[in-house]
Amino acid sequence: MQLQVRQLLNRGLRTVPIVLFSLFLQTMYVSAADPGTEFPSSSISDDQKMGSVLFFPYYTSSAASPDSRDTQITLTNGNALAQVIIHVFFVSGSNGSIQDFVTSLFLNQTFVFDVSEFDPGVTGYMIVVTTASDGHPVKFNYLQGMARVRQGSGLRAGYRAESVAAIADPPTSWTGETQAALVFDGTNYNRLPRALAANGLRSAADGNSTTLVVIKAAGNSNIAPDFLMSSLGTITGDMYCTGSGEAGFTYSPGSPQIVETLSAAFPPMTPDYTSLIQSGRSGWMRLWSASDEGILGLYLNLNSSGGISTGQNLHKLSLSTTNTFNVPVFDCNC
C-alpha cells in the first residue's frame, strides 16, 4: 500500500510533494468503545493515554549508517470510526530548525517509519499535531505513539510518546490565518509539566552510561512563522543518593534540547555525579524550569557489562501555568 505524504517546510526551504514506498502501514482492530472509563480529556499529559498532540522527546538518525543509528517511530489512530490528518514536526535539538510533513491516518491504522527517511543525520525531538484538511488543529484524542532508538554504542531502547489531549472543541481560535496558537493551559489543551524527576539512576562505575534528555515542549515559542524552536531556558535541579548526600545544579543549554551523559562533567555540581552515585548505589534527581516553561524528558541507560538497555520517560512532579506555541497552517489536500 502506498501512503501519500506531503513534505512542507523542509527546514524552511521549499514545499515538496512526495510518495514514500518504503513506509509500513498496518491495519489493526480497535473497538469503537473500549470497556471501562476513558481517561478524561482534562487529565495531565501522560504516556499512558491517547491525545491530540504527541511529544517524542528524543530521536536520532544517521545519514551514512541508519542501520546502526536510527529511531523507528510508530503512530496509531485509535479511532475505529474516523480518519485524521497529522502534522509532524522534527525539531533539531542543536539549533531548533524544523523539518515536517503532513499525512493522514485512516481509522485504526498504524504508521511506522524511520526518522532517517525524513530527517537523516539529526538528533532532536518530534511533535505531532492532529489537524483538519485545511491545516488548523482539531480535537482528536485518539492518537498514540511509540519510539524505538538504536545507537552504534549498542543501545536499543523504546519509550512511549507523551500525549496531550485537547479539551476545548475546537482547541484553537484559528480563523484562517497562516498559523495557529496551541495553548497548553488546562482549558484548550492539557497543561504541561514544569518539574520532572528521574529515579533509579545507576552508577557509572558499574558500567552504566545514562543519557538525560530534556526538551522545551512549549513556552511562548513559535514554530511559525520563523520555523524555529527557541532555546530551553535555565534548568535547576537536585540529585540525591542515600549514603552519599545530595547536590544541586543549574544549567542553561542554549538550545531547545538537552542530551547529556551523566558524568563528572554533567550536571555541573559538587560533588559530581560519579562521586555522588558510587559503585553499588543508585539515586534520583528532580529538575525544573526556572521560568515556568513546559518541559518533558526521558533517560536512556546502557550497561556495558550486561548489554542491557532501558528507556524511561521522566515523572511529572508539577505543572506549568500556561504555555503557547504557534504552528504553521497549510492546506494539505490530504
Give the pLDDT of residue 14.
Answer: 31
Dihedral of CA 77/79/83/89: which sign? negative
- What is the spatial distance between Cα 180 and Cα 187, in angstroms, rounded to a whole number? 16
User: Where among 191, 224, 246 does a domain terminate?
Assistant: 191
CB-count burial class (<10 Å; 0-12, 13-18, 19+) for 207: middle
Q: At a CB cut-off of 8 Å and minimum separation 6, what does 123 contact?
A: 58, 59, 60, 61, 92, 93, 94, 257, 259
The residues facing 158 across adjacent strands are: 148
Instruction: Please indicate, yes or no, whether residues 109 and 214 belong to a single structural domain of this protein.
Output: no
Instruction: Please indicate, yes or no, whether residues 212 and 301 belong to a single structural domain of this protein.
Output: yes
Q: What is the mean pLDDT of the chain?
A: 87
Does the pLDDT value for residue 11 go beyond 70? Answer: no
Q: What percent of the chain has pLDDT over 90?
A: 70
More confident site: 109 or 14: 109
- Kindly state whether residue 334 falls inside one of the protein's structural domains: no
Give the pLDDT of residue 29.
Answer: 34
Which of 92, 86, 159 has the alpha carbon at shortest distance from 119?
92
- The x, y and z cell numbers of residue 304, run together, are 556495558
- The x, y and z cell numbers of residue 246, run together, are 545530595
Instruction: Please indicate, yes or no, whether residues 249 and 282 belong to a single structural domain of this protein.
Output: yes
- Kindly state whether residue 328 falls inside one of the protein's structural domains: no
pLDDT tens digits for 259-294? 999 999 999 999 999 999 999 999 999 999 999 999
Question: If you average pLDDT over residues 74-80, what whole number do you get?
Answer: 97
Q: Give one word for 219, left, alpha or beta, with left for phi > 0 and alpha for psi -120 to 50.
A: left
Instruction: Please indicate, yes or no, whether residues 156 and 11 belong to a single structural domain of this protein.
Output: yes
DSSP 35-103: SSPPPPTTSPPBSSS-BSEEEEEEEE--SS-TTTSEEEEEEEE--SS--EEEEEEEEETTT-BEEEEEE
Question: Which H or E run includes 129?
Answer: strand 123-131
Question: If you average pLDDT over residues 7-26, what whole number do you get?
Answer: 42
Give the pLDDT of residue 224.
Answer: 60
CATH code (residue 235):
2.60.290
Give the pLDDT of residue 124.
Answer: 97
Instruction: Please indicate, yes or no, whether residues 157 and 179 belong to a single structural domain of this protein.
Output: yes
Rg (CA), the chain: 20
Task: List alpha helices for the chain, DSSP H.
Answer: 273-276
Instruction: Please indicate, yes or no, whether residues 271 and 187 belong to a single structural domain of this protein.
Output: no
- Kindly state whether residue 332 falls inside one of the protein's structural domains: no
- DSSP count for the chain of H helices, then E strands: 1, 24
Q: Please, what is the Cα angle at 17 between 66 and 68, to 5 degrees?
A: 5
Instruction: Please indicate, yes or no, whether residues 174 and 209 belong to a single structural domain of this protein.
Output: no
Instruction: Please indicate, yes or no, whether residues 16 and 163 belong to a single structural domain of this protein.
Output: yes
Instruction: Please indicate, yes or no, whether residues 139 and 23 belong to a single structural domain of this protein.
Output: yes
Instruction: Please indicate, yes or no, whether residues 300 and 179 belong to a single structural domain of this protein.
Output: no
Q: What percent of the chain has pLDDT over 70?
A: 87
Give the pLDDT of residue 138.
Answer: 96
pLDDT tens digits for 129-172? 999 999 999 999 999 999 999 998 888 999 999 999 999 999 99
**Residue-range definition of the domain harbouring residue 199:** 193-320
User: Where among 168, 191, 214 does a domain terminate?
Assistant: 191
- Kindly state whether residue 314 falls inside one of the protein's structural domains: yes
- Kindly state whether residue 114 falls inside one of the protein's structural domains: yes
Number of domains comprising the chain: 2
- Kindly state whether residue 327 falls inside one of the protein's structural domains: no
Instruction: Please indicate, yes or no, whether residues 162 and 197 belong to a single structural domain of this protein.
Output: no
Instruction: Please indicate, yes or no, whether residues 170 and 219 belong to a single structural domain of this protein.
Output: no
- Kindly state whether residue 220 falls inside one of the protein's structural domains: yes
User: Where among 167, 191, 215 does a domain terminate?
Assistant: 191
pLDDT tens digits for 22-44? 333 333 334 456 777 777 777 77
CATH code (residue 76):
2.60.290.11
- The x, y and z cell numbers of residue 270, run together, are 559538587
- Kindly state whether residue 331 falls inside one of the protein's structural domains: no
pLDDT tens digits for 111-130? 999 999 999 999 999 999 99
Question: If you average pLDDT over residues 105-112, what whole number do you get?
Answer: 96
Does the pLDDT value for residue 222 go beyond 80? Answer: no
Which of 307, 258, 55 has the alpha carbon at shortest distance from 162?
55
